[in-house]
Structure 1
Amino acid sequence: MIINHNLGAMNAQRQMSTNQNNMSNSMEKLSSGLRINRAGDDAAGLAISEKMRGQIRGLEQADRNAQDGVSMIQTAEGALNETQDILQRMRELATQAANDTNTDTDRNEIQKEVNSLTSEINRIGNTTEFNTQKLLNGEKDGSEAIAAVAGEFTSTDDIGTEDVTIDGVNFTYVDSGATAADGEFSDAEGLAAAIDASDLGDKYTASHSTDKLVLTQEDGEESSTAPSGLDFETTTAGVEGKDAGSGNSAQFQIGANESQSLTLNIADMRASALGITSEGTGAELGVTDGTNNEVTEQALDLSTHEKASEAITKIQSAIDEVSGERSQLGANQNRLEHTINNLGTSAENLQSAESRIRDVDMAKEMMNMTKNNILSQASQSMLAQANQQPQSVLQLLQ
């Protein structure tokens, strides 16, 4: 028997310390509700959980961003609803003014209302804002320009090696491989080479497709009528170009990561952009640029039958343009609403996965704490017993 080293007591004390530490950890987890309270609890799990938390918070913010985007779109579309009502009234007035039962005095009174309505369309375009940002004055239109092509025509038959006449201009065939001069064309390797169309007054760009001749009208040519002399089929006709936007597109961040965004362009919806003004002294008609400055535009002239009739067509075009813009806004709103639903689902599922890593199972941890508590009490009892063992040495000294 030895008394300098009570190994039984030392072992009981070590076990008791371990049990108490385990019980303390269980109490911490039960108190916080988290399985991972520090990196040491699960280093890999902590890294994965933090990455997921970044995604979750990004998705939740993207959800709010998309809802703000819907609000912006609804603001713009609501203003355009009023603009369209105004245009419908202007069309009605133009139709009325086109009737020659009206006197000059009558048309003058109609003109006053059209002037006022034109000014109101400008006011709506200049002042409609969301969070101090202008929506309908072109500042949110970052669309790229679309090239104008009046028409493209392809000959229905191979042009072969015979002379051809296009719009009264004769083109002479020259030997294969020869360089075609003005008024000539040649074929190369069985393909009809591009004829020199300079004799057509640069009205077309000429090229070839197999043995067929393709003529594309240059920008600025208004007619989409097929050229004469050959039988042509119209590939495209009347394709109108669109000028580039004057501002920057609205970008909605609808994802948690870079480049997960939606681009929205809102066209200029003021009177001049809609084509319902003409040059003149705008101040006399109440047409301003939104800052009460005089501008060189005036409302459509309804002073005669012919002018009023032309105004009907222009106003109808404006109505169609506003309708198209409202349709585009509505489509983007629907897209954002689907995006909101998807973001909510994604955030929920990711939160569930993160919870399994980070959160504690309360029932399981309560079981662990109960076990550690019992073991701690048992180890305390055994430590007391181990401390009593050296007392038996005294019996040897009696």
Structure 2
Amino acid sequence: MRITNRMLSNNAIRNINRNLENMARAQEQMSSGKRVNRPSDDPIVVARILAFKTSIAANDQYQKNMEDAKGWVDASESALGMATSTLQRARELAVYGANGTMPKESMQALGKEVDQLIDEMKQIANTSYGGRYLFGGSRTTEAPFVDNTGNDKNVKPVIYNGNEANLEWEIAPQVKITVNENGQQIFVDAIDTNTGNKIGIFDLLKKLSNALNSGDYSGVEDTLSQFDQAIDHILDIRASLGAMSNRLEMSLSRLGDTQISLTQTMSKLEDVDLAKATIEYKNYENVYLASLATSAKALQPSLIDYLS
């Protein structure tokens, strides 16, 4: 095959451009810190990196969901801890009031304190977390417990305006967890009576208040066992919330380990080995400079250049 000057020139230019592209790619890898910067660099690796990024982003959202759910559960447990303390104080007052030798004026003073405990319990039952009420079921934007303005307010001082719906958080693909305890379950259906009906915590507190204000010693004494039921009821719910909080804590820890593993694996695929890239760049640079020098010698002026 006959080799012409044009063929030599084209080959030289093509080789020089290829070497320049290699040097530019190595320089881009060093400056960006990424081994692949576009799908054309390595389609298979890019596809795997995108899959890892999708998983990491999804896990980030699950982590936020679990943190929010744990905050909700912990806030609920804390509120019920205060409710337990309030009930225990009310029981202490009931024990004092059941003493048959206490004068009526002293019993009425105890009754006034119980009225304050009713207000305190209502405030606890209307505890909010992040602007959302904890114990209203799915009705989280309005206070679930309000003062009763009806004719039966001396028996039911507070009424429940929430519902019994569950609030669920997704903590893994197709895995949801219910984190709320509604006010109906906690404060309304709290105490079993001898008649088979249930009374609420607010009703019990009002019953104690009425008995103290009227000087009814036996009525006060009757509330003692019901306060024990109410306290045990709240403690059972707190235990359930504590178990849920522990589960979320373990899930968060496991997800954190998973995120670290995914990030490390993706880094191995995506991030450039800077020392290796530097060596490759220097090699490409030397090859590029050598191709320039070789081409300059190979493409010497021909006889055509001297014809005029």
Interval containing the TM-score (normalised by the shorter chain): 0.7 to 0.9
1:276 has 2:204 as partner: no
Cα pair distance change 1:104/1:393, threshold 3 Å: closer
In 2, Cα distance between equivalents of 1:298 and 1:140: 30
1:55-94 Cα deviation digits (max 9, x unpaired) = 1122123223222222222222222221111111100111
Name the SS of the counterpart of 1:253 in structure 2: strand
Say what the alpha-carbon RMSD is for the aligned residues: 2.9
1:361 has 2:273 as partner: yes
Asked if structure 1 preserves the Cα contact closer than 8 Å seen for 2:138 and 2:164, the reply is yes
Higher fraction of helix: 2
Moved more, 317-326 or 109-118: 109-118
CA drift of 1:356 comes to 1.7
Q: TM-score, normalised by structure 2?
A: 0.79
Asked if structure 1 preserves the Cα contact closer than 8 Å seen for 2:91 and 2:227, the reply is yes
Q: TM-score, normalised by structure 1?
A: 0.62
The amino acid of 2:61's aligned partner reads Q
1:249 has 2:248 as partner: no
In 1, Cα distance between equivalents of 2:107 and 2:188: 22
Asked if structure 2 preserves the Cα contact closer than 8 Å seen for 1:49 and 1:357, the reply is yes
Name the SS of the counterpart of 1:34 in structure 2: coil
| 1:104-253 mapped onto 2 (5 Å cutoff) | 104-125=104-125, 127-139=126-138, 246-253=163-170
CA drift of 1:392 comes to 11
State the partner residue of 2:178: 263
Cα pair distance change 1:3/1:120, threshold 3 Å: closer
In 2, Cα distance between equivalents of 1:308 and 1:3: 117
Asked if structure 1 preserves the Cα contact closer than 8 Å seen for 2:137 and 2:164, the reply is yes
Cα pair distance change 1:317/1:6, threshold 3 Å: same
State the partner residue of 1:146: none
State the partner residue of 1:39: 39
Gaps of 5+ in 2: 141-161, 191-199
1:307-356 Cα deviation digits (max 9, x unpaired) = 11211111111111111111111111111111111111001101111112
CA drift of 1:116 comes to 1.9
Asked if structure 2 preserves the Cα contact closer than 8 Å seen for 1:33 and 1:362, the reply is yes
Match of 2:264 among 320, 332, 352: 352
State the partner residue of 1:385: 297
- The percentage of counterpart residues that share the same residue type is 28
State the partner residue of 1:95: 95
State the partner residue of 1:168: none
Cα pair distance change 1:306/1:265, threshold 3 Å: same
CA drift of 1:276 comes to 3.3
Asked if structure 1 preserves the Cα contact closer than 8 Å seen for 2:164 and 2:182, the reply is no
1:19-77 Cα deviation digits (max 9, x unpaired) = 10111111111111111111101112112211110111221232232222222222222
Larger Rg: 1
State the partner residue of 2:253: 341
In 2, Cα distance between equivalents of 1:391 and 1:104: 131
Cα pair distance change 1:325/1:140, threshold 3 Å: farther
Asked if structure 2 preserves the Cα contact closer than 8 Å seen for 1:35 and 1:358, the reply is yes
Cα pair distance change 1:137/1:102, threshold 3 Å: farther
In 2, Cα distance between equivalents of 1:336 and 1:34: 35
In 2, Cα distance between equivalents of 1:137 and 1:299: 26
Cα pair distance change 1:271/1:337, threshold 3 Å: closer
In 2, Cα distance between equivalents of 1:139 and 1:321: 22
Name the SS of the counterpart of 2:302 in structure 1: helix
1:260-289 Cα deviation digits (max 9, x unpaired) = 33222313277544433449xxxxx9x8xx
Match of 2:285 among 373, 379, 385: 373
Asked if structure 2 preserves the Cα contact closer than 8 Å seen for 1:140 and 1:265, the reply is no
Asked if structure 2 preserves the Cα contact closer than 8 Å seen for 1:129 and 1:135, the reply is yes
Name the SS of the counterpart of 1:266 in structure 2: coil
Higher fraction of strand: 1
1:327 has 2:239 as partner: yes
Name the SS of the counterpart of 2:89 in structure 1: helix
Cα pair distance change 1:263/1:350, threshold 3 Å: same
Aligned pairs, number: 274
